[in-house]
Structure formats: C-alpha cells, structure tokens
Chain A
Amino acid sequence: MTSRTIFAACASGLLLLTGACGGSEQGTSEGDVGDATTTSDVTTMTGLSAVAPWARPADAGKNTAVYLELANTRPEGDSLTGVRSAAAERTELHESVMEGETMRMRPMIGVALPSGGRIVFRPMGPHVMLLRLRDPLVPGDTVEVTFDFASGRSLAVRAGVRAP
C-alpha cells in the first residue's frame, strides 16, 4: 500500500522533514499549510519562525493537537527541547506512528532544527498535544503555545482554532 509506505517513511524520519514529507504530500485532505482560515500567523523571532499554526476544537478536559511548521533561518542550528501552554494541564510533543495495523503515539524529546531546517507538525504525524484542556476550544478561539529551544530562545505562537 503506497500510502502506508509514505506514512511509514514520514513517521520514521524523526521529523526533520526536508521536502519529501513536508509540504504538499500529506495523506489527509485537511490541514494544508497556509490555509486561509487559520490566523495565518507567521511568528518570527531571531530567525525562528512559526508558519500557519492551527488547533483542533475540543471539549474542556479533553485532549487536542496544534499543528504548524517551525523553521530556522539562522546560520546556527538549534534543537526544540519542549513546549508549554497555559491552555492545558500538560503540553507535550508527540508523534503518531503506525505500527503494523495499530496506531500509537509516542513522545518526542529533543528535535533537531538545523540551520535552514524545519519541523512540520501535521495531522497523523508529529503534533503538539494539549492534555486536559482547561477550557473548550471552539472555532474562532486562539490558543497560545510556547516552544523552548536548546539555545535558550523561546517562541510564543498563537494558533487559531478551526474545524478541520
């Protein structure tokens, strides 16, 4: 099954998605980067940028995901060490992976972001997971997440909530 092969390739490449898995080749028809209905933020700070962030609606107490692209245009490499958000009890970096016929999630720790590289968070793949939302997220809301990097930098991103 080719879609499965693509999926496996995407999932296993621990996310430094340079090209192949990054842009248009996304299995599902949702979550296209740059969709006009997101807040279309491009948040930039000292060469780190977040493109087209969006979050899925969910009820209070439930879990949801935030998707976006992080890019590093600095001459030096960096590494994503964590993420936090006041919107949820816990916030983690996760990756959905298909193993055989089973879907699992596993935590991602320390994702490299070399100079010129990017990390793509997308449905059925890497995602920022918000655990136990303090308030419901409904379309039109925004949710703020902050990414922390090994260099000591951090990047606060506001993601628009939209139904996929």
Chain B
Amino acid sequence: MRPLVVITLLVLSIVGCAERPWHGIVRSPADPAPALVLAGAADLPVTRIRLDSFRGEVVVLYFGYTHCPDVCPTTLADWARAKRALGADTTGIRWIFVSVDPTRDSPAEAHGYARQFDPAFSGTAPTDAELALLLKDWAIAAYPEGDPRTPDYTVAHPAYTFVVDADGRFRLMIPPGVRADDIADDLRRLR
C-alpha cells in the first residue's frame, strides 16, 4: 500500500472517530426503506401514503394507536417539541403517525389525532390487509392485548420512531426517551 493511501486512511479514521454521535440508532447499512403504501380515506388525500413519493424529504414515522394513553402521546409531544426546536424552517421533514389499530382507528381519526400535537403532522390508518403487509415489510410487531372484542384492549406496538432520509433509505431508529433537542439535532443532520 502506498504511504499516501495509508496516511489518508489514517486521517479518515481519526475524523470518523471524532464525528459527533447520533442520538438515534444508526442503521448500517442504510438499506432502502421498505415500502409503505396506504390507501387512506378517499375524501382526505393527506391520509393516502406512498412512502417512495416523499423522496427529497426526511420522513419521520411512528406506528401507534389513538387509544394509547402514555407512550404514543409522549412520543408525539416530543416530536412537536423537536419540530419547534428546528425553528421556523421545518421544510424538508414530513411527520407521519400510522395507526396499527385499524379496528378502532380510521385514517381520518388517526390524522385528527396526530394534528392535535402539531398541525403539520399527519396521520393515517391501514386496512387490515395493509397492516399485515406493513408489519411484514418493516419486520415490526403490533398486536392487540386483552380482549379485542371489548373497547378496552391495548395494542403492543413498535417503541421506536423510524426515520427515512431524503434518498429513501431507512437511516435511524430513535428510541423512546431521546430528548426533543437531540431528535431535532439528528433530523437537522439528515435534512
């Protein structure tokens, strides 16, 4: 190996180590995000989702349910704070809440729920068939607990916020509890 190459590699590795850490979990390799295609409500186009149509934007995704009393609203409130931390320019970032409880949540309900946290957020809900497909494609778990015939069942769902970069790659998983400023910091770097 030529000395110049060695030196270059050495410098690169030092620079690499000095790079400030991400707050979310970086996916490596950053493979293309799985498909996410949801028909939504015919009379509410914002609930129709085709993830690959958002190329050029960072997409922040959460899979939850509107009857969630604790974890989902905490996460969406953290998103809202992160969005505010980004300041006036919040273009280039799309925030989407996807219900994994189609029995109780319509696309319109999920959208109304997400918008309570920030008017720029959108929400939707899949059909049963779309849900089965998205759980498989994203390799995630979501399932009702308790008696699903009663109104009071709960839903186990993914804990992380998923972030897809502007090139459509699944880049980050943000665990619950990451501070809003730190979420904003990661998103700023991806945008």
Residue positions of A touching B, CB distance < 8 A: 1, 3-4, 6-7, 27-31, 56-58, 62-65, 89-90, 94, 96, 98, 101-105, 123-124, 127, 129-132, 163-164
Residue positions of B touching A, CB distance < 8 A: 25, 66-71, 73-74, 77-78, 81, 116, 140-142, 145, 151-152, 154, 156-160, 173, 175-181
- Number of cross-chain contacts by CB at 8 Å: 99
Are B70 and A94 in contact (CB-based, < 8 A)?
A: yes
> Closest Cβ of chain A: how far from B100's Cβ, in Å?
11
Which one of B142, B156, B157, B176 lies within 8 Å of A28 (CB-CB)?
Answer: B176
Are A98 and B66 in contact (CB-based, < 8 A)?
A: no
**Measured between alpha carbons, how far is A132 from B152 in the docked complex, in Å?**
8
Are A56 and B176 in contact (CB-based, < 8 A)?
A: no
Are B74 and A124 in contact (CB-based, < 8 A)?
A: yes
Are B151 and A132 in contact (CB-based, < 8 A)?
A: yes
Are A101 and B160 in contact (CB-based, < 8 A)?
A: yes
28 contacts across the A-B interface (CB closer than 8 A): A1-B175, A3-B175, A3-B178, A4-B177, A7-B176, A27-B176, A28-B176, A28-B177, A28-B179, A29-B78, A30-B77, A58-B73, A63-B69, A94-B69, A94-B70, A101-B140, A101-B141, A101-B158, A102-B140, A103-B157, A103-B158, A104-B154, A105-B70, A105-B71, A124-B74, A129-B69, A131-B152, A164-B74
